[in-house]
Structure 1
Amino acid sequence: MSPQRHPLAACVRLCLLLSALPLCAAAQDAPPPEPEPGARTLDTVQVTGTRIRRAEMEGQVPVQVLTREDIDRSGFSSVAEVVQNLTASGAALNTKFNSSGNFGFPPDGGGVGAGAATVDLRHLGAKRVLVLVDGIRWVNESSASGVGSAVDLNTIPLSIIERIEVLEDGASSIYGSDAIAGVVNIITRKDVDGASVQLHYGDYSDLAGGDTWGADLGWGGSSERARWFVGASYFRQDEISSIEYGPAGVPVPGTGLANGSSATPTGRFVFQDPNTGVVYDLTPNTGDTDPAFDPTQTGCERTDGFHCFGTADRFNFSPYNLLLTPSERKSVFGQAQFDFTPTLGGYVRVLYNERESANQAAPEPFFLGTDAGVYNDYAERTLVISAANPYNPFGFDLTTMGDAPNLFLLGRRPVEGGPRRFEQEVETWYASAGLNGLFDVGARSWDWDVNVMRSESKADQTNTGSYNIRRINEALGDPAACAAISGCVPLNLFGGPGTITPDMLAWIQPVVRDRSSNALSLFSANLTGEMFDGWAGAISFAAGVEYREYEGEYRPDPLTVAGEYNGVPSGPTSGEYDVREAYVEFLVPLVRDGWLGKSLDLSLASRWSDYSNFGGTNTGKIGLRWQVADEFLLRGSFAEGFRAPSIGELYGTLSRFDATLVDPCNNAASTTPECVADGVPPGYEQSNPQISVITSGNAELEPETSRSLMLGGVWSPSFADATAWSDRLDLGVTFYRHTIDGAIQALDAQTILERCIFGRDPVSCGFYERNDRGQIVRFDNILGNVGTIRTDGWDFDVGWRLPEQAWGRLGFDWKTTWVTKYELVNEAGQAEPRAPGVEINNSAIPERTSTLSANWSRGGWSAAWSARYIDRLTESCGGANGFDICDDSASDTNALGSTTYHDAQLAWATDAWMKDFRITLGVNNVFGKDPPICLSCSLNGYDASTYDLPGRFWYARVGFGF
């Protein structure tokens, strides 16, 4: 790729040249470590969003800081829960929204991230959020299902965190790729004196299961020339079955079995009798394990043990899913900081994290026949169920071969083999070291640091409850051929539950093992200080260089690679690339105590990146901070950004995602002109709502580019300072706008289908193919640079602290995010369906989310109450018109009402019994609010990426030191 040229970057470069600074621009994606002890560095600070160290950086960039106290008051037990409940957070993977068997393989090549938890800012996706730990990039997740492109926050124990800084603004010019939507910088504990123990337990009082418990141990200290902290953490969360939640009792609440699976424990058989030409759609009668097909009974009134398949025969897969997936995590962490001399220091940090997790889905179905659409020769093109098979009740071959295949669909759910169970073992290790110091340039001190880091995440996944489609093919064929294969046993798919024997299962049911890994190596060097005095103050700078190397691979089971896995197939992925970067940043005071106010500062940044597989690119950022008066601040910035495609996005091989799609041509609609033009015959009925969609990475992908605008202000009125009714009042507002060009993602499959049928869009029609019976048998949706994403909105912040009274001190914090626009427009100028206020594909963008918190303290006692508000949403009824659950059948929409969760906590602390003794009791979702029912959500009848689990969660914690 040829170097990209950006107007803003060029403008910034010109400003840098004019500064006449003879420095080599350099970069790192991570801020340097915290300032080391030394009299000359104690007055400098660094905040996320700028690389310049200096005093009084308050308000330079819009950073939300979550302190240790904020984290403890939340009642949450993981980093992901804390950041996913920010008002600016979008739908992201968590332990409620996690199912390998149902979500298949997404087109980004990252797999389902089973057991992982991520963070999404501004609803732009987890892959567009940069996660740092102490300013250093963290390795991407590995969950044995692909090469992930986002950080698994479950690899970072909550107990080692001092605070979390969240920059909700584009920052590619400061940190490089992935910082389009913002940055999450996790700062670890450093100044610890003595040992500490923290124990916690929690439970969902309205559901069976979900117990969580854990223990955190820590020890820290210091000497004249060193500081250290070591810690160990254990966390365990038990699973909760979907049967614990009433609406999950059917595939889609309020619609009965209409959206259930056509692969049933009794079996569904759609075939043509080669002797008469009659087409049948039959299923055995319940309890009839040996039906005898009578070809003279051509209608639905039958006495041969079969009846015509109908809605009541569909399979309810929901009770086999999980509301909450189990997870067990063990971590050890250590760091030490050294002061070799007053001007030279160093540090070393290490972490090891181990996770065992699992998820579960309904027994894996068999879909065989020309309508199966599973892209597998053994199921679609080379299958013969022999007439000689002792269990074949039809008396003739059922085949998908030749010019006149007669097996259109065989759907069987082998409940005898149990549910699909996916168990992950993930190991993550991290090691970094560095030197830092300062030196004098004239009368000024400059800070420097160099850092090296290596981190790796490896995962193994064991899958039980899946099947070998080649062996199924062999077991259904000629018994003589089966007998010639060692271990082969003829298979019975025709007699209902219990007819698949243990011997049959032993032949067709393997244990599938997959592996993946992600690794990151990094070197960086940084320099920051004041150059010279300008007319309004000292001009400060930061500059640095960085080298990063990414490696990733996914190794599915050899059975999968050979095309014999009956479930979601995928191929191996492997790739690596490196990047060299350099950056420079300036802070230029323009006004001090003049007619324009207290101060006006200009910030400029530029970054150059050179990728081994793309070439070079430049990004720039320009910002203004205007302190109009002591109590009033205005700030704004405009930034360019980019995101390089991940290894999975580039090199991920063909895989399959089973999407739940509603064919607009189903049933009566088949005779409409639009459906006739699409090749649909009269009387067409969609055999299965799950359509196999082939996805893949794309080595031709270009990096995404972005533009981000931020305008805001903070007002701290003096009339609210130190009064009888207020100690301090802060009011803040921020407008944000992000535009991403060449967005890397796949289009919505349902929208593609509807565009083709109703608009005859030739591009959309090229994505899929029907057979002569109208069934969709091919659907390709390869990853690409599909178009432009635009989003904008507002953040509102109110902080109010009351003066201390005899009854204690009270404070309020109110944060609100209002999303005014979100649209993805593809290259053809067509808008995808995702938008504010819309629920789609198991995720949503609420127009407004808000959190109001009240905190009280008196002596050793403290209490907190918070209310978390999620605005109402609407969704398509998904073809469920006529059902009571669809509240507006005329417009085919269903409303998900607004939801408010209330959380409460009470704590007491004392040093009388032992050092830092503290006991905490709390309840999240105090009133047991259930999530709104969702028709379009594929699991458990609600959107688990947006809403809490049903019912209350209570917890208790005790901590002490010595």
Structure 2
Amino acid sequence: MKPRRQSLAIAIHLSLLLTLPGIAAAQDTTEQQAKTLDTVTVTGTRIKQTNAVTAQPVFVLDREKLDKTGVQTVGDVLQQLTASGKALNAKFNSSGNFGYPADGGGIGAGSAQVDLRNLGSKRVLVLVDGIRWVNESSASGVSGSADVNTIPLAIVERIEVLEDGASSIYGSDAIAGVVNIITRKTFDGAEVHTYFGQYDDGGDTTEASLTLGGSGDRWSAVFGASYYEQKSISSGSWEQSSYPTPGTGVRGGSSGIPQGRFTFCDPSRPVDGVGGCDADGNNWYDITLNNGTTVPVFDPNDPNGGTYHGFSGADRFNFAPYNLLLTPSKRKSLFTSVNYDINENTRLHVKALYNNRTSTNQAAPEPIFVGPFAGTGGIADTISISAANPYNPFGIDLDASSNFGFITKRPVEVGPRIFEQDVDTVYFNIGLDGLFNIGDRGFNWDANYVHSVNKATQTFYNGYNVAKLKLALGDPALCAAVAGCIPLDLFGGQGRPMTQEMIDYIRTTQIDSSKQTLDLASANVTGDLFAIGDRTAAFAAGVEYRKYRGEFNPDPLRQSGESQDSFAAPVKADYNVKEIYTEFNFPVLASLDLTAAVRYSDYSTFGTATTGKAGFRWQPVEDLVIRGTYSQGFRAPNLGELYGLTQFGATLVDPCGSTGSPGPAAPEFAAGCLAQGAPPTFEQANTQITTFTGGNPNLEPEESDSYTIGVVYSPSWGEDQSWSERLDIELSYYNHEIEGAIQARDLQSLLETCLREGGVGTLNCTPFTRNPIGGNLNPPNNFLDNLGSIKTDGLDVKFNWTGPEWGWGNLNASLQATYVMGYEAIDIDGNRSQREVGIEVDDSAIPEWQVNAQLGWTSGDWSVNWTSRFIDAVKEPCSNVPVGEAPGCQGGVEFNKLGSTTFNDVQASWKNAFSLEGLKLSVGANNVFGKEPPVCLTCSLNGYDAGTYDLPGAFWYLSADYRF
């Protein structure tokens, strides 16, 4: 533990000792009836509050605000926040393109996550009614993030977003902030909700829900059922993706092409009087079939003769039209909440939820890469092709140990890759809560047990068995001895597609599954301690026990390395946590409150951790509150980070000669490229470089320091005036610093640093080696470690104004803005990540400014609301663009600019429509003007950043709510 942490922990422990006499005094007072105060529990503290403005910044989205967004999922709501960073959502068609990320959490296909402060979804704690929600399974790993789409919007009363660290209050993961989703607990009557929406390019969205509730003298109950269906939108329906030669980050395309790419050497062919296969590739063919070829004709003396020509960037395959802009999803959910008063001081509460999601991702037909240049690190790299293969037009053995580079072939006749997810979430909570008195002091308490499970399966269609590929391409006599095996034709292009028998032999369906379980037991107490003047000191304390269990069972073909898609190893592990915390609020002056909290955690995986928090709330005048917090945080490594072992398709631009732009390398890299064995004419075969990555059982927790300071101004001169009913202005500064950040190295930055340092012999060059023939990078290892430090700071601005009642209606306006002042991530080797404020990299951006502004008008039963969402301009490094002459990066330009973007949403509502009391009709459009996201040259799928921007085109919707 760091010395400053020890000091803060000691100070807080001393404050606990100083309060003990007060507690004893409270116990000795005469017993009186406890006072009933108008108190509430606000996210970020366990102490019930009477102040409208607390020491910590909390943004609340109540039911009315949620309805005005026009979206129907918790994930979509949260990702529109100005403090939100990149997170998975339905716009990411992620399966089949990226492999498994380094954190062992899987791809998360079909899920929606929440990121705050650009620190990642793993550093945001998701609560439901103040209790942890189970992490997602994703069917491809053991994740450290929650899928917020497992919580139907129909059951949500409000969402509270704590924009501050809170590990001392809630434990691990609450570094960047906390999202607390408050469910409906009391509801009398019935409510039917229906919704239909559609994008300009399709993607119908249908939602329906039923909410029933009632109450009696001693009980209350709420029941909800909901159904949600989102249909897909093909990338091919968007002009930007459907170009024959894309003009974006997909411009580089793929070398896995339908016509086939063939890289090999004929040892008997003399070149300039010299025969043999040299290591630098001078005597090698790199050819592809001419379009329209039905019968391949090869001339060994003329690579560009017969039906072949030299492969170039113009031959690359545009995979984008096969992807999805919007992934289809169906969700069915049941929810119930029951409260029963056992007596006047004790209540039993039970809550249960079942949610099922089915979703689908789609990717271009699986490319076949065989030969040592394939760079998979597995069986495919060892495949040789026999001269006796009846379809081999070259008349020679293609030997992986000598004269064979690779064959890449994308058999479009097989059909696209399909990934279907089926995810079940079960949540059960039972507990007691109540109150008791000690003397004249009132105390609230609660005890809870929670069992929650998220389990998923993913079925992958139209993949290949690499072991069968090897057999079908090898000696035909060996193939003939195996039932079902027939020689495989990778040589005929689209003019001679693979036969159905060939496809059936090598094609395989793969099924992966994963499961996460969280069992939690907790007990809390909060109440008054002693009087300080005319005010009362308060406290909260509690204990919690959690047990996490995670399983990941990849398909046997993935485990054996026989899957053409990706390698993955199984995980089955668990750990437990025991915690105790306490929190205090001291009103030391009539206008000043001081707060303190400390939490002690004992993990079965790494040991103990102690975190503390301190804050103040000062109200020097009635109109003004000044507040601040300092908090220590930590994030324990999750099961995927500890034990996962997977393969990741990292997108790398090789400075020795990028895809579609062969060398020579830039002067700063030339010596390093030569030392590594990349020839001067080297061209990178593919931008997706297979990387072996995964967990590390020796990981330590991440540690963080966070502080906020802000002011809330509610001027009396703006209250009950002819022009204003109420006016509130809020300004907050935040600062987060994380040490020991769990991450893999930034391979792009590391590779460039290595080459600048000479290419060999340095620590930064350890992961990189090259194939001695041709110079392509071999798969690097890049495992997780406590490698990084991350720093970010910025400002939040919030403004709310409510106008008075005028004869023509009532106006209201609000604004939320986030200004990111700085963001830097540096690894342990001193390499600075390319991710910075104003930079687009790795399919994500950190805009300097994000602003949401709302304007509303209400008159009787009618209301109209307008929202503008502004995203500041960012720029992407042209050095990351696969093709040097791509639009926006011509003429030595260093950056390509993605201009600022504003999306406008509008909604009109009519209450008690058609004189039917309880009926509300709403019609609206998000991105009403059809603003398209800016073109991104480096984004890997559809040419835009799906984590930052809306889908292209407007989304129109109609909803009806009937309450009776």
Q: What is the 5 A alignment of 1:526-605?
A: 526-535=524-533, 537-592=535-590, 599-605=591-597
Specify the code of the residue in structure 1 equivalent to 2:508: P
1:134/1:697 CA distance change after superposition, 3 Å? same
2:142 is the alignment partner of 1:150: no
Q: What is the 5 A alignment of 1:267-416?
A: 267-276=260-269, 277=276, 278-297=283-302, 299-300=303-304, 302=305, 304-376=306-378, 378-381=379-382, 383-401=383-401, 405-416=402-413
SS in 2 for 1:6: helix
Q: Is the 8 A contact 2:545 2:578 kept in 1?
A: yes
- Shift of residue 883 of structure 1? 3.3
Indicate the residue corresponding to 1:34 in structure 2. none
SS in 2 for 1:890: coil
Specify the code of the residue in structure 1 equivalent to 2:468: R
Q: Is the 8 A contact 1:527 1:544 kept in 2?
A: yes
Q: Is the 8 A contact 1:347 1:433 kept in 2?
A: yes
2:78 is the alignment partner of 1:83: yes
Which digits, 9 at most, give the CA deviation of each residue in 1:74-115, with x for residues without a partner?
Answer: 001100010110000000000001311112100000111010
Indicate the residue corresponding to 1:60 in structure 2. 55
Tell me how far apart the structure 1 counterparts of residues 52 and 601 of structure 2 sit (CA, whole Å). Answer: 27
- State the TM-score, normalized to the length of structure 2: 0.94
SS in 2 for 1:367: strand
Q: Is the 8 A contact 2:34 2:441 kept in 1?
A: no
2:604 is the alignment partner of 1:612: yes
Which digits, 9 at most, give the CA deviation of each residue in 1:297-318, with x for residues without a partner?
Answer: 2x43x1x221111122111111
SS in 1 for 2:309: strand
Specify the code of the residue in structure 2 equivalent to 1:393: P
Tell me how far apart the structure 1 counterparts of residues 725 and 439 of structure 2 sit (CA, whole Å). Answer: 43
Which digits, 9 at most, give the CA deviation of each residue in 1:682-710, with x for residues without a partner?
Answer: 32121222211111111111100000010
Tell me how far apart the structure 2 counterparts of residues 251 and 732 of structure 1 sit (CA, whole Å). Answer: 50
1:257/1:178 CA distance change after superposition, 3 Å? closer
Indicate the residue corresponding to 2:419 in structure 1. 422
- Shift of residue 57 of structure 1? 5.0
Indicate the residue corresponding to 1:627 in structure 2. 619
Indicate the residue corresponding to 1:705 in structure 2. 703
SS in 2 for 1:12: helix
RMSD: 1.9
2:212 is the alignment partner of 1:245: no
Q: Is the 8 A contact 2:594 2:615 kept in 1?
A: yes
2:842 is the alignment partner of 1:841: yes
- Shift of residue 887 of structure 1? 5.2
- Shift of residue 890 of structure 1? 2.6
Indicate the residue corresponding to 1:493 in structure 2. 490
Q: Is the 8 A contact 1:242 1:318 kept in 2?
A: yes
- Shift of residue 21 of structure 1? 6.0
1:132/1:946 CA distance change after superposition, 3 Å? same
Indicate the residue corresponding to 2:203 in structure 1. 210
2:14 is the alignment partner of 1:6: no
Specify the code of the residue in structure 2 equivalent to 1:314: R
- Shift of residue 826 of structure 1? 1.1
Which digits, 9 at most, give the CA deviation of each residue in 1:381-421, with x for residues without a partner?
Answer: 2x2211111001111111213xxx21112111111111111
Specify the code of the residue in structure 2 equivalent to 1:734: S
- Shift of residue 371 of structure 1? 1.3
Identify the match of residue 121 of structure 2 among 121, 126, 129: 126
Tell me how far apart the structure 2 counterparts of residues 305 and 881 of structure 1 sit (CA, whole Å). Answer: 27
Specify the code of the residue in structure 2 equivalent to 1:291: P
- Shift of residue 961 of structure 1? 2.1
Tell me how far apart the structure 1 counterparts of residues 636 and 585 of structure 2 sit (CA, whole Å). Answer: 28
Specify the code of the residue in structure 2 equivalent to 1:774: G
Identify the match of residue 199 of structure 1 among 186, 194, 198: 194
Tell me how far apart the structure 2 counterparts of residues 654 and 241 of structure 1 sit (CA, whole Å). Answer: 29
Q: Is the 8 A contact 2:55 2:629 kept in 1?
A: no
- Shift of residue 664 of structure 1? 3.9
- Shift of residue 753 of structure 1? 1.2
SS in 2 for 1:107: coil
> Identity of aligned pairs, percent?
50
Q: Is the 8 A contact 1:95 1:115 kept in 2?
A: yes
Q: Is the 8 A contact 2:560 2:567 kept in 1?
A: no
Tell me how far apart the structure 2 counterparts of residues 176 and 677 of structure 1 sit (CA, whole Å). Answer: 49
Tell me how far apart the structure 2 counterparts of residues 236 and 71 of structure 1 sit (CA, whole Å). Answer: 19
Which digits, 9 at most, give the CA deviation of each residue in 1:318-353, with x for residues without a partner?
Answer: 110000000000000001011111111110000000
Q: What is the 5 A alignment of 1:875-886?
A: 875-877=876-878, 878-879=880-881, 883=885, 885-886=887-888
Size of the aligned set, in residue pairs, is 933
- Shift of residue 499 of structure 1? 2.3
Identify the match of residue 896 of structure 1 among 895, 898, 911: 898
Unmatched 5+ residue regions in structure 1? 25-37, 593-598
Specify the code of the residue in structure 1 equivalent to 2:447: V
Tell me how far apart the structure 2 counterparts of residues 448 and 720 of structure 1 sit (CA, whole Å). Answer: 40
- Shift of residue 723 of structure 1? 1.1
1:87/1:887 CA distance change after superposition, 3 Å? same
Q: Is the 8 A contact 2:245 2:318 kept in 1?
A: no
- Shift of residue 942 of structure 1? 0.4
Identify the match of residue 445 of structure 1 among 442, 445, 448: 442
Moved more, 65-74 or 555-564: 555-564
Tell me how far apart the structure 2 counterparts of residues 22 and 803 of structure 1 sit (CA, whole Å). Answer: 47
Q: Is the 8 A contact 1:631 1:718 kept in 2?
A: yes
Q: Is the 8 A contact 1:552 1:574 kept in 2?
A: yes
Tell me how far apart the structure 1 counterparts of residues 903 and 49 of structure 2 sit (CA, whole Å). Answer: 41
Indicate the residue corresponding to 1:934 in structure 2. 936
Which digits, 9 at most, give the CA deviation of each residue in 1:458-495, with x for residues without a partner?
Answer: 10110001100000000011111101001111100000
Specify the code of the residue in structure 1 equivalent to 2:845: A
Q: What is the 5 A alignment of 1:824-863?
A: 824-863=825-864
Tell me how far apart the structure 2 counterparts of residues 466 and 665 of structure 1 sit (CA, whole Å). Answer: 30
- Shift of residue 42 of structure 1? 6.0
Specify the code of the residue in structure 2 equivalent to 1:779: P
Q: Is the 8 A contact 1:210 1:239 kept in 2?
A: yes
Tell me how far apart the structure 1 counterparts of residues 770 and 464 of structure 2 sit (CA, whole Å). Answer: 27
Q: Is the 8 A contact 2:251 2:318 kept in 1?
A: no
Q: Is the 8 A contact 2:866 2:904 kept in 1?
A: yes
Indicate the residue corresponding to 1:103 in structure 2. 98
Tell me how far apart the structure 2 counterparts of residues 314 and 921 of structure 1 sit (CA, whole Å). Answer: 45
Unmatched 5+ residue regions in structure 2? 25-32, 270-275, 277-282
SS in 2 for 1:212: strand
Tell me how far apart the structure 2 counterparts of residues 271 and 912 of structure 1 sit (CA, whole Å). Answer: 75
- Shift of residue 760 of structure 1? 3.9
- Shift of residue 8 of structure 1? 1.8
Q: Is the 8 A contact 2:34 2:437 kept in 1?
A: no
Tell me how far apart the structure 1 counterparts of residues 447 and 11 of structure 2 sit (CA, whole Å). Answer: 29
Which digits, 9 at most, give the CA deviation of each residue in 1:179-231, with x for residues without a partner?
Answer: 00000000011221111100000001x21x20000110010010000000000
Moved more, 179-188 or 271-280: 271-280
Tell me how far apart the structure 2 counterparts of residues 695 and 57 of structure 1 sit (CA, whole Å). Answer: 48
Tell me how far apart the structure 2 counterparts of residues 873 and 145 of structure 1 sit (CA, whole Å). Answer: 32
Moved more, 49-58 or 931-940: 49-58
Tell me how far apart the structure 1 counterparts of residues 185 and 885 of structure 2 sit (CA, whole Å). Answer: 58
Q: Is the 8 A contact 1:456 1:520 kept in 2?
A: yes
- Shift of residue 6 of structure 1? 3.2
Indicate the residue corresponding to 2:163 in structure 1. 168
1:735/1:760 CA distance change after superposition, 3 Å? farther
2:635 is the alignment partner of 1:653: no
Specify the code of the residue in structure 1 equivalent to 2:623: E
2:231 is the alignment partner of 1:229: no
Moved more, 496-505 or 157-166: 496-505
